[in-house]
Amino acid sequence: MAVKKTGLGKGLDSLITPKQALEKDSIPVQEKTIIKNEEVKLKLTEIEPNREQPRKKFDEDTLIELADSIRQFGVLQPLIVQKRGDYYEIIAGERRWRAAKMAGLKEVPVIIREFSEQQAVEISLIENIQRENLNPIEEAVAYKRLLTEFELKQDEVAERVSKSRTAVTNSMRLLKLDERVQQMVIDEMITTGHARALLAITDQELQYKFAMKVFDEKMSVRDVERMVKSYGEKKEEKIKQNSANAFIYQDMADKMKVLLGTKVSIEHKKNNKGKIVIDYYSNEDLERLMDLFQSLSMDSTV
């Protein structure tokens, strides 16, 4: 049976490239000299997670499974770290570090490298995306950071994470969801399929209500698509009706404007109620309108 490749992936390989010759400069650790790019061992207490790590949620069950594997076989792939003052920061491999702690290990294999701030964040993002360790919202945020912070194009991001440009675009669209709906995706209350169907609802409050309905009624993606389509058709019909009514009321207002010789507006409300607003621009103009109303009143009694 073929052994599954455990390399870092195309995106990471482009950032972590072994040098043709060993570098002369070195980093002292525990009175030992470590040549950069060589695998060495560090105590777990000397290592800390990257504060810019895009992954915020770690599945406890999968960590336990990895910890069991580490107890039997050890950490098979070294962590990538860099020196940060009096500790080493994880650039790639936080999940392995957490599982190693659960397994009771005291030290883990690492490769010590030096990265720019951009490289450190980018590698952390790409590693998590490639290993599918991020939930859909974390993944979308990671893509956005690669685009905005590092000014990469979507094609470049797609190439680095070995995904299609369409996949990157569709992922980032999830960030247009209401934050409460995004949390429902993170909590696996609804799927990304449900979420993408709800993107057609632009009203954030209504979008959240629909999402709760999807969860409560255990609706399928097809059900959500039909619900959203029905809502869109009703909304379109309402807009057309409101547009027709607005034309009628505007026509009435225009006729009153000609009759009264001043600006007139009609504010139509629900239940066929509303008010007529008649503008005047001076006391004399007001008196003119009063005389006009009185004359119209007298004409109606004749």
- Burial profile 217-246: b = 16 or more Cβ within 10 angstroms, e = fewer: eebebeebbebbeeeeeeeeeeeeeeeeee
212 burial level (CB within 10 Å; 0-12, 13-18, 19+): middle
Q: Can you read off the two tokens belonging to residue 137?
A: 């919202």
CB 272 within 8 A of CB 265: no
- Which residues are marked as active site? 94
Kind and range of the H or E element at 256? helix 221-260
CB 111 within 8 A of CB 50: no
Q: Can you read off the two tokens belonging to residue 291?
A: 């005389």
Q: Can you say how many angstroms the Cα of residue 228 is from the centroid of all Cα atoms in its chain?
A: 21
Q: Can you say how many angstroms the Cα of residue 75 is from the centroid of all Cα atoms in its chain?
A: 33
Q: Can you read off the two tokens belonging to residue 254?
A: 């225009």
Main-chain phi, psi angles of 52, to 5 degrees: -95, 10
Q: Can you read off the two tokens belonging to residue 127?
A: 């590693």
Residues forming a β-bridge with 164? none
DSSP string, 138-196: HHHHHHHHHHHTS---HHHHHHHTT--HHHHHHHHHGGGS-HHHHHHHHTTSS-HHHHH
Find tokens 């490639």 and name the residue: 130
